[in-house]
Structure 1
Amino acid sequence: MDGIRSVELAAPAGRAGRRGWRAAVVTLLAGTLLLTAACSGGDDSPSWQGGGNGAAASEAPSPEPTLSTVAVTSPAADATGVEAWSDVKFNSEDPENTTVKVTDAKGDEVKGAVDKDENLWRPTESMEWGKKYTVTVTTPEAEGKNNTTTSSFTVMKKPANLVRVTSFLADGQTVGVGMPLIMRFGRAIPEKYRADVERKMVVTATPAQEGVWHWTSPTEVHYRPQTYWKAGSKVFYKVQLKGVKMGDGWYGRSDLTVDMKIGRSMIMTVSNKTKKMTVKQDGKVIKTIPVSLGKPKTPSSSGTMVVIEKKEHTVFDTLDELGPEEGYRTEIDYAQRITWSGQFIHAAPWSEGVQGRSNVSHGCVNVSMAMGKWLFDRTLMGDVITVTGTEEKLKNGNGWTDWNMSWAEYKKGSALH
């Protein structure tokens, strides 16, 4: 063995000498055994040490704890009173390959989308009042790690304060190219909640056309495209406001959808200078009509308006408003309202003699009986009329004046722009 030198021992004389020699040999052999054991180590360790390196080696190693690669951070586990449009937030070591599934008590999946940059799942439909939901978050399997976690929460009970939401238009209607989409609310919506409301009102036009919502008041919001609707377009809008927060303690009552159509293009242009109306259908002039506009004391408004409503026969009564000297009560045929202040396109047989030459009306666009009927039979709610050259400019809000603003100005009325 390396490090051990041979030793020569002389045999002592006599019996006592022999006993001493034998003792020396035994001592030397014992020392050699101990030195050999100390150098061997590893698997050749002495059996009295239990086959390991010391007493501690006899104990089996503890297993490493299983780590989770995903966790739901919001809503908190078993949370109650959760809002119906709440996002689900999660942590993940691999967000790009993480899936999130939210199911109700029956196992039906709630529609939603995962934002992998923000590590959250957003519902695309309202969850039901008072119902319990389970979140399951999963990533690809990783060795020694748990790749799936679940968490549950319960949506708030149906609140007492609900805001009614209505659409001015209904399924199946055909309207003019200037018709705004109009949503009305049963309660004023504070500004800080309007962006969330807009996000839940999605308009789809075929062919596609850029458009935006514009708040005309705290209780009404309109939508128009950048330019007039394309003739023949199909328009579908989905309003998902059930459960959407609309104020402190107030929530949307319901969802709705509207499927409608845009008709042919009809644009009416009235010039005070020429006292004529030019009617274009799908870009082609189909009629030029003599008109009489408002006299200087009661001028017609210059601006772009649309047909709001149509009444084949009605009565104009301004006696209470203007008094017996200026007021009047007159039966009117083929009336088409264009402002809230009382301006109409209508037949006026009493002014036919001056139509095309001078203005004698109280602000309306007067045409003959024949032309009044001709127009009435062809127009749609939402058809456009632009008046130019009068003494008074149209005030925004006096009718559906969505087209009386530039696109840049109109976008400023959106909570999202």
Structure 2
Amino acid sequence: MGRFARVGAMVGALSLMASLALTGCGDDPKKAEFVGGTPTAGSSVAAESGTAPAVPAASAGPPLTVSPADGAKNRPVSAEISAEIPEGGKVTDIALTAANGGKVEGRWRADGSSWVPNSALKYGTRYTAVVTAAGEGGETRQGTSTFTTMAKPKSTIASGLYLFSDKTYGVGMPVVAEFHPGIPAKDRKAVQKRMFVRTDPPQPGAWHWVSNGTQAYYRAPEYWKSGTTITVRIALAGIPLSNGKYGNVDRSATAKIGRSFVMKVDNATKKMTVYEDGQVVRTIPVSLGKKSTPSSSGTMVVMEKKESTTFDTRDDPDPANRYVTEIDFAQRLTWGGEYIHAAPWSEHAQGRQNVSHGCVNVSTAHAKWLFSQTKVGDPITIKGTERKLTAGNGWTAWSLSWAEFVKGSALPVPEGGSGPDLA
């Protein structure tokens, strides 16, 4: 059982280092790739992008007050557009353009509180926002604001998104946002308001922050429905934090959820029961961690898969746990080094006795079959061992009940979960 340090290699040559002083049966550093890119543009209807036909500007009263204020300077590139609307009035159009004439697309927040550009604004650039609203009697009013964004900050916070566009994941795949250094507790509300998730078909969800603020998970009350499309935007570019740092970039991804494939391991029986779409498809004898190096009890998900790898634990402080072993059909469950993998040397004990260094040992034949069936994000629940899964040791979003999970949100969560943040 070896200590494990992980290094995340971000898209765009961004490096993110995080480590956990945890132990497991493997010590193979994980290179986590982070998704970045341009968010999907909203549609061109007024409620989403502000490109509806212009309303005649026959003003029937004083101009609307627009935010950011006219003449404002050094505004964050995460700025959103809003206006003070008379009672009974309704915004009919928002047009945001850069000084070079480039038009900015965007979407309304679901509660109508502001209009969110589809991508971060550019640093050191002048923008003009024109907001048009109609009153109850059909009269129109307009407000205009020209503001300038701040220069690119020198001190930023690194972020990552564990989700790849055009990939298919298991039903237990949480949305995982990562930050280095962690987000201070007093900033998490503002940051969470800029973390947008949309599911099709719609399913409620919530965010949960790991205690040190280095990760936040998003999940639904139950596993995702098979066939779900998840669209995510972690819109942190330029968002100011209380420690003087700013978010570095926006990250986005659109991914699919595949069929339901769920694994359940019971230490009492030393067996894994495998369910596909709710039906038992295989029962597999296992050997879990021995008492001195127990497996973790809780719900984990497959984080990565390697057909062959090397477990090297020669730096373990306990000489009894030092070894170098070639491993086949390895599927990572924790950052600390717990895997499902082939263990031909323990087949005599599988189904009868725990002899591993914390991993789920199965026969080579069963390991090969499992490897051919699973996807990243497929959940596995282990129960009855001497150790409880540690929050943040892997993608541990499902190790909590829904009632416990929502307590980790920085914002109030409606009963049953929140809907999409953007209209």
TM-score, scaled relative to structure 2? 0.73
Q: 2:128 aligns with which of 127, 131, 134?
A: 134
* Residue number in structure 1 paired with 2:329: 334
**Aligned residue number for residue 279 of structure 2:** 284
1:64-101 CA-to-partner distances (Å, cap 9, x unmatched) read: xx994334365444232233344556556566155554
Q: What is the CA–CA distance in structure 2 between the aligned matches of 1:161 and 1:67, rounded to whole Å? A: 46
What amino acid maps onto 1:78 in structure 2?
G
Contact 2:286 2:350 in 1 (8 A): yes
Q: Deviations over 1:333-357 (max 9, x none)?
A: 2122222222221111122122212
Q: How far is the alpha carbon of 1:320 from its aligned partner? A: 2.3
Residue 168, structure 1, aligned to residue 162, structure 2:
yes
- Equivalent positions of 1:50-69 (< 5 A) are 68-69=61-62
For the 8 Å contact 2:228–2:257, the answer to whether it is kept is yes
* Cα separation, 2, equivalents of 1:91 and 1:383: 47
**Does the alignment pair 1:103 with 2:100?**
no
Match of 2:314 among 313, 319, 327: 319
RMSD of Structure 2 on Structure 1 (CA): 3.0
Displacement of 1:389 in angstroms is 1.8
Q: Any conservation in 1 of the 2:68–2:147 contact (CA below 8 Å)?
A: yes
Deviations 1:122-177 (A, max 9, x none): 443443322223344556699xx995554432222222223333222211221111
- 1:191 corresponds, among 157, 177, 185, to 185
Whether the 8 Å CA contact 2:127–2:146 is kept in 1: the answer is yes
Cα deviation code 1:297-332 (max 9, x no counterpart): 322222211112222222223232044444322222
Shift of 1:227: 0.7
2:54 is matched with none
The number of residue pairs the alignment matches comes to: 348
Call closer, same or farther: CA 1:335–1:87 in 2, change over 3 Å.
closer
Structure 1 position 222, deviation (Å): 1.7
Deviations 1:19-45 (A, max 9, x none): xxxxxxxxxxxxxxxxxxxxxxxxxxx
Partner of 1:404: 399
Residue in 1 aligned with 2:53?
Answer: none
Mean Cα deviation higher: 68-77 or 289-298? 68-77
Q: Which residue of 2 aligns with 1:81?
A: 74
Q: 1:211 aligns with which of 199, 205, 209?
A: 205
SS state at 2:345 partner:
helix
Instruction: Give the Cα–Cα distance (whole angstroms) in 2 for the partners of residues 133 and 342 of structure 1.
Output: 50
Q: Percent identity?
A: 47
- Of 134, 138, 153, 1:159 maps to 153
Give the 3 Å change call, closer, same or farther, for CA 176–200 of structure 1 in structure 2. same
* Superposed displacement of residue 363, structure 1: 2.0
- Does the 8 Å CA contact 2:134/2:140 hold for their aligned counterparts? no
Residue aligned with 1:243, SS: coil
Tell me the amino acid that sits aligned with residue 345 of structure 2: W
Go from structure 1 to structure 2 and tell me whether the alpha carbon gap of 1:71 and 1:308 turns closer, same or farther (over 3 Å shift). Answer: closer
Per the alignment, residue 348 of structure 1 pairs with 343
Task: Specify whether residues 199 and 334 from structure 1 end up closer, same or farther in structure 2 by C-alpha distance, changes over 3 A only.
Answer: same
Aligned AA for 2:328? D
Residues 1:95 and 1:387: Cα distance change in structure 2 (over 3 Å): same
Q: Could you tell me which runs of 5 or more consecutive residues in structure 1 were left unpaired when the two chains were aligned.
A: 1-65
Between 1:91-100 and 1:261-270, the stretch displaced more is: 91-100
2:303 is matched with which residue? Answer: 308
Which residue is 2:408 aligned to? 413
Which one-letter code corresponds to 1:256 in the other structure? R
Higher relative contact order (CA 8 A, sep 6+): 2
Paired letter, 2:77 = A
CA–CA distance in 1 between the matches of 2:148 and 2:207?
33
- Specify the code of the residue in structure 2 equivalent to 1:187: P
Distance 1:359 1:123, change over 3 A: closer
> SS of the residue aligned with 1:179?
coil
SS in 2 for 1:294: coil
Residues 96/300 of structure 1: CA separation in 2 closer, same or farther (3 Å cut): same
SS of residue matched to 2:190: helix
Task: Quote how far apart the aligned CAs of 1:221 are.
Answer: 1.7
Which amino acid counterpart does residue 232 of structure 1 have in structure 2?
Answer: G
| Deviation for aligned residue 1:219 | 2.5
> 1:258 is matched with which residue?
253
Please give the secondary structure, in 1, of the residue aligned with 2:275: strand
Is 1:242 the counterpart of 2:237? The answer is: yes
* Distance in 2 between residues matched to 1:319 and 1:146, nearest whole Å: 74
| Deviation for aligned residue 1:370 | 1.0
CA contact 2:67–2:145 (8 Å) conserved in 1: no
Cα 1:72–1:248 shift into 2, 3 Å: farther
SS at the partner of 1:355? coil
| Structure ranking higher in helix proportion | 1
The whole-number CA distance in structure 2 between the counterparts of 1:292 and 1:269 is 14
